[in-house]
């Protein structure tokens, strides 16, 4: 969509998607709230992934009476979201030959133009959660961002949920070659370069834009909790390391007691022991990452059994 799109054109092109996203979001948040667990346990994390997959696979477009919902379209979208200039975050300067790719913080109006949703236009909330963003890969919903409530007006947890399944044949190549990449840190070795490039191209700026906007708006947030399935787990591993490495370069005062946690479900081992130990050190403690598997499946078997004993996080199969 052109940046010069008029407000009338913007409404006409986006209103159907906006209605679909709003109904999807309402149903998702209500379902999450109904299954809310007071204890932070494995079922608690899995319920986020289960409910995302349940709702994103429903064919809402065939069920929605769009004429009935047309009045829910916000007016003066451009004015409410402000058409500001994108912000470029210059990553920490590294010694050559390392070169770190810049982070682009996308403005709210551009996020809306691309994804037909923004939390500043509509409040989707339940007793326990507020929905802040819907994560897309091309035209497919693959995740969401929501905040957990400590009370009706105070947010404590920021949840990033991403379910992205591996492509067919992912496990066919048993002798994967390690590719050395230096876009987001001095050097990362990754067995699936396509996954890394997918993060850089499709998710990095989207996640940064949402997360920094929410943290700037709501100062009470104490925890960022990432929950990822299959490749979604690997994408969030990259984001957590990336965010931790570059947060000192971000022009935003983050709370000193902001803690990061990561739950990955059926995610394969994508890098080396060094990468995962760096990730744990960035997250802050040995209990900040949990790897969960459906038994000793192919994802579980991709992890070197000697690494499991040495690495500093929890395996559950």
Q: What's the pLDDT at 12?
A: 59
Burial of 256 (0-12, 13-18, 19+ CB in 10 A): exposed
Interval 81-97 mean pLDDT:
53
| Range of 12-21, 30-39, 271-280, 305-314 with top mean pLDDT | 271-280
Both structure tokens of 39: 């204890």
Is the per-residue pLDDT at 282 higher than 80? yes
Interval 278-298 mean pLDDT:
84
What residues does each domain of the chain span?
7-316
Q: What's the pLDDT at 273?
A: 82
pTM greater than 0.95 (yes/no): no
Interval 264-291 mean pLDDT:
86
| Range of 83-87, 133-137, 214-218, 284-288 with top mean pLDDT | 133-137
| Range of 42-56, 168-182, 272-286 with top mean pLDDT | 42-56
Rounded to whole angstroms, the Cα distance separating 265 from 64 reads 32
Q: Does the structural domain 7-316 have CATH classification 3.30.428?
A: no
**Residue whose entry in the numeric block shows the structure tokens 């991709």:** 302
At residue 228 the predicted structure's pLDDT band, cuts being 50, 70 and 90, is very high
Alpha carbon 193 to its chain's center: 19
At residue 111 the predicted structure's pLDDT band, cuts being 50, 70 and 90, is confident
Is the per-residue pLDDT at 42 higher than 80? yes
At residue 240 the predicted structure's pLDDT band, cuts being 50, 70 and 90, is very high
| Per-residue three-class SS string for the chain | CCCCCCHHHHHHHHHHHHHHHHHHHHHHHHHHHHCCCCCCCHHHHHHHHHHHHHHHCCCHHHCCCHHHHHHHCCCCHHHHHCCCCCEEECCCCCCCCCCCCCEEECCHHHHHHHHCCCCCCCCEECCCEEEEEEEEECCEEEEEEEEEECCCCCEEEEEEEEEECCCCCCCCCCCCCCEEECCCCCCEEECCHHHHHHHHHHHHHHHHHHHHHHHHHCCCCCEEEEEEEEHHHHHHHHHHHHHHHHHHHCCCCCCCCCEEEEEEECCCCCCCHHHHHHHHHHHCCCCCEEEECCCCCHHHHCCCHHHHHHCCCEEEC
Q: What's the pLDDT at 99?
A: 55
Q: What's the pLDDT at 112?
A: 84
- % pLDDT > 90, the chain: 29
Interval 206-233 mean pLDDT:
92
At residue 176 the predicted structure's pLDDT band, cuts being 50, 70 and 90, is confident
Q: How high does pLDDT run on average in the chain?
A: 81
């Amino acid at each position: 969509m052109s940046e010069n799109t008029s407000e009338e054109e913007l409404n006409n092109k986006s209103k159907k998607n906006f209605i679909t996203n709003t109904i999807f979001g309402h149903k998702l948040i209500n379902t999450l709230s109904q299954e809310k667990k007071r204890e932070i346990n494995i079922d608690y994390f899995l319920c986020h992934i289960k409910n995302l997959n349940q709702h994103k696979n429903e064919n809402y477009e065939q069920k929605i009476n769009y004429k009935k919902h047309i009045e829910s379209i916000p007016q003066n979208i451009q004015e409410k979201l402000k058409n500001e200039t994108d912000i470029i975050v210059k990553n920490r300067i590294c010694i050559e030959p390392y070169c770190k790719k810049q982070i682009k913080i996308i403005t709210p109006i551009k996020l809306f133009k691309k994804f037909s949703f923004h939390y500043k236009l509509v409040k989707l909330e339940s007793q326990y959660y507020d929905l802040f963003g819907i994560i897309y890969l091309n035209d497919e919903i693959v995740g969401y961002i929501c905040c957990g409530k400590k009370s009706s007006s105070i947010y404590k947890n920021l949840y990033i949920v991403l379910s992205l399944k591996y492509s067919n044949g992912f496990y066919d190549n048993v002798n994967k070659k390690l590719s050395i990449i230096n876009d987001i840190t001095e050097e990362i070795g990754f067995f699936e370069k396509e996954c890394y490039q997918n993060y850089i191209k499709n998710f990095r700026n989207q996640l940064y834009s949402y997360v920094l906007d929410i943290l700037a708006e709501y100062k009470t947030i104490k925890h960022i909790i990432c929950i990822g399935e299959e490749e979604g787990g690997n994408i969030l591993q990259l984001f957590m390391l990336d965010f931790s490495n570059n947060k000192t370069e971000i022009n935003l005062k983050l709370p000193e007691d902001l803690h990061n946690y990561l739950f990955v479900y059926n995610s394969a081992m994508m890098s080396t022991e060094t990468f995962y130990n760096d990730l744990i050190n960035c997250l802050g403690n040995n209990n900040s990452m949990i790897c969960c598997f459906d038994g000793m499946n192919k994802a579980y078997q991709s992890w070197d059994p000697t690494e499991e004993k040495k690495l500093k996080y929890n395996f559950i199969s």
